[in-house]
Structure 1
């Protein structure tokens, strides 16, 4: 079997790590399984393409020949790229011939513009959620996921999530052993300790500017108590209506979603480090019953509580 051709599509003002991170993952996987992959960087025109940082990456002229997996980078340049009809047409044609298609961060906009995400589940960077939904209402956006697979189309969240995506693609091709070895070489976990939710860091920071850090610390210490909008707004010394609006602007999610996230993270920590029954964990973190917790954990991490517990017991530490 010939090596699988992984083609990375870039354009002016692309995000450098969107391409470089996944490229490194496939390069390392090739070392562990020689003959598995061949990587090309392509663009609308051959030559050096400037990223948003100013650093340049050399690209070949885009063609559709022999592509196994098309990966579309994201970055500030996605907005003007959406207006390049010839580029969008090429993506549509290339995806039609490729075995699978993927996007990193706002590269999902390009897939959506090409009609490849209509009726499919997808994700992108959390900060683009409202804009993406407005532009592409036919896409079933899952903004709290690190990556989403829907058939032959994959999408991932912001920047470093492209490496998570690449590891998942490698596991799909070559198995978990090669994906794990690749992750170890990259000095990163095969699966993030926070599961598959991209909101982990955002909630930990208290939002884009940290405005709600103290409030979320307060809520984290009271997870077993009712934490509705009215109570959170009172603690923040704001009216419920103004609080809800400001919270969504800052956090990219509703207060209820943030509280659910805090409870899910607390549940995950208990599931992975203690032997408490699932029902007891659910009560201790404020879910009330095991089924409600199971649904929330499944939404956040893509697997049920018992699977999180088993994975934590079986996953070795990351090596160098």
Structure 2
């Protein structure tokens, strides 16, 4: 079974979790539990959506997690909301042990801050592609791609692009 950890933060967009339906569907088609999904945040506990009062329960990144693939959700404005140092440090460490790390939409900025996109191809939300290229000149931002797989690092331009891509992870 492939274990997938979704990393979200306070004020995330509910669409970030919509990508989980792809993995749910794959398990239905396989007629067995092919994927196990868990939500994580920096400190764990309930995390608030960007505009809604509801919250989603998460595990702390400090807990031991058996995860093959990490998927990092985006933030509304990555230019004014840099990731906390704990997230950056976690992503660097996770990149050593995980089979792959992916980012949805502006979640690519977190991967960039952690240095995981250096000298790689990457995609991010169309409104932030040029800003990513300017802030991180060692990344080859491809503004015309829906998603990019560059070895173990996956990035997508948006939340719906992530669900539309070929997401079978083996």
* TM-score after normalising by structure 2: 0.91
Q: Aligned equivalents of 1:100 and 1:83: distance in 2? A: 20
CA distance in 2, matches of 1:131, 1:42: 27
* Partner residue, 1:49: 47
The structure with the largest helix share of the pair is 1
How far apart are the structure 1 equivalents of 2:91 and 2:81? Answer: 11
Instruction: Identify the residue that residue 114 of structure 1 maps to in structure 2.
Output: 114
Matched, 1:141 2:138: no
- 1:24 is aligned to 21
Which fold has the larger relative contact order, with Cα–Cα distance below 8 Å and residues 6 or more apart in sequence? 2
**1:9-50 deviation line (CA, Å, top 9, x unaligned):** 0001112102x2111111121122213110000001121111
Unaligned segments of structure 1, at least 5 residues: 174-320
Query: Does the Cα contact within 8 Å between 2:103 and 2:154 map onto a contact in 1?
Result: yes
Q: What do residues 66-89 of structure 1 show as CA deviations (whole Å, max 9, x unaligned)?
A: 211000001226456524111110
Q: Give the aligned partner of residue 101 of structure 1.
A: 101
State the Cα distance separating 1:119 from its structure 2 match: 0.5
Partner Cα separation in structure 1 for residue 68 and residue 5 of structure 2 = 8
- Which has the greater radius of gyration? 1
Q: Which residue of 2 aligns with 1:317?
A: none
DSSP 3-state at the match of 2:110: helix
Aligned-residue Cα RMSD (Å) equals 1.6
Structure 2 portions without partners, runs of 5+: none
Q: Distance in 1 between matches of 2:45 and 2:127?
A: 31
CA deviation string 1:163-197 (max 9, x = no partner) = 124xx231x43xxxxxxxxxxxxxxxxxxxxxxxx
Distance 1:122 1:41, change over 3 A: same
Indicate the residue corresponding to 1:131 in structure 2.
131
Give per-residue Cα distances to partners, 1:248-269, cap 9 Å, x unaligned: xxxxxxxxxxxxxxxxxxxxxx
Instruction: State how far apart, in whole Å, the 2-side matches of 1:85 and 1:12 are.
Output: 15
Shift in alpha-carbon separation, 1:77–1:100, aligned structure 2, 3 A: same
Contact 2:75 2:81 in 1 (8 A): no
Q: Secondary structure at the match of 2:19?
A: helix
Once the two structures are TM-superposed, the CA of residue 65 in structure 1 deviates from its matched residue by: 3.0
Cα distance change of structure 1 residues 64 and 106 upon mapping to structure 2, 3 Å threshold: farther
